[in-house]
Structure formats: C-alpha cells, structure tokens
A and B are shown apart, each in its own frame.
Chain A
Amino acid sequence: AQSVTQLDSQVPVFEEAPVELRCNYSSSVSVYLFWYVQYPNQGLQLLLKYLSGSTLVKGINGFEAEFNKSQTSFHLRKPSVHISDTAEYFCAVSDYGGSQGNLIFGKGTKLSVKP
C-alpha cells in the first residue's frame, strides 16, 4: 500500500529565507507525485507535479521539487519565501499502475513566513 510522510507538521521561516518542505513516500510501483497548496479557508491548488522525465520539477510561485527515486523523496523548495507563501502544503502520490484517479495525501505542512 502507498503512503506519504510529511516530516514536518509546521515550518516557521523568516521572509526572504530559503525553505524546504520534506516529503517521503512508499510504494511498490512507479508513481506520480504532486504538491498542493491550500491558503486559509480555500481549496487546494496544484503547485507542481512529477509524472516522468526530468527529476527537477518547477512549479508556480517560484517553487520547485526534486524526485529522488532511491530515497523515495519529493522535497519542495523555494530559494526565497514571501509573506504570501504562508499556507498549508500537501504532498500526494498517485499509483499510475492502478487507480490513477486516487491520491494518497500526506498530513500537511504548515508554512508560516514571518517578517
């Protein structure tokens, strides 16, 4: 069975500092990987996705993530955060060998950017 572990439930960081949100997954088959962002009282918005090809994936709002198959990780990074990046971030995995429409989500990481 697939699972996703987000290693930090909360990450406080100062504005303009770099940030890394960590995500590890487990799966017995090849997967698709996603990062979603949720701003307060809003729905989920796709930040970026890895389906195949280059292991470095660039997304919206200056975020990027690197797929590391040997370490089963898909960490999200941004070199310089803004106050507006304060939100909850979810890592998710989809089994493209099986039920392609179902995502398994991590429990989320709350990013708090302070001035």
Chain B
Amino acid sequence: NAGVTQTPKFQVLKTGQSMTLQCAQDMNHEYMSWYRQDPGMGLRLIHYSVGAGITDQGEVPNGYNVSRSTTEDFPLRLLSAAPSQTSVYFCASTLLAEQFFGPGTRLTVL
C-alpha cells in the first residue's frame, strides 16, 4: 500500500492564482481531512469528509474548497491564492480514530 499520497510536494503561486492540491489514499478509509501547518500554530483543520459525497468545514475553511467524488481522492482547491495561504498542507485519512498523514505540500504564495 502506498498509504496517503500528496502532489505536488512544492508549489509557488502568485496572488490571485488558483490551484488544486491532490490527495489520494489506497486504504479504503471513509474519513479524510486537510490540515495546514504554520510555525508555532500546530496543525489546523481546513475541511474534512466522512465519505464520498459528504464534506464539512473545519476550523479554517475560508479560501478553500473541497469535494469528494470517490473514496480514494480528496482534492483541496485554492480559489484565489493569497499570501496568508503560504503554509504546509497535510492530507490525512482516518481509521478507528487513528490518522495517517501524507508527506505534505509546501505552498508559497507571492
């Protein structure tokens, strides 16, 4: 099993650009989440999904959209990038309360 995979690993955007961060898992987990990590802030939940077709907002959802058309994939979309979205983004899938994290995407918005 590959576990949780994320692409790209690094990305630089200009303010106002849009992009999609990809996340996939091959463990057939229903529950998936997106977090952002900022220095001194820990990880904060952006959006999560309890299964295909069902998503909900976390602590910091503004500026991000998600969808869940399949169990495997949970992409995160930045609609109009802002410098405040410069961060490291982690995707995770969950089974029985244990979360499995992807390697992260480091995003810089200029």
Chain A interface residues toward B at CB < 8 A: 4, 9, 32, 34, 36, 42-46, 49, 51, 90, 92, 94, 96, 99-108
Contacts and interface: CB of A to CB of B under 8 A. Distances in A.
Given A9-B40, A51-B97, A106-B42, A44 B90 contact: yes
Interface string B79-110: 00000000000100010111101111000000
B60 interface: no
Contacts of A46: 98-99
Contacts of A94: 97
Nearest to A106: B42
A101 B41 contact: no
Given A49-B98, A101-B48, A105-B43, 8 more contacts: A34-B99, A36-B101, A90-B43, A101-B32, A101-B97, A102-B48, A103-B33, A105-B42
Contacts of A104: 45
B58 interface: yes
A108 B48 contact: no
Nearest to A100: B97
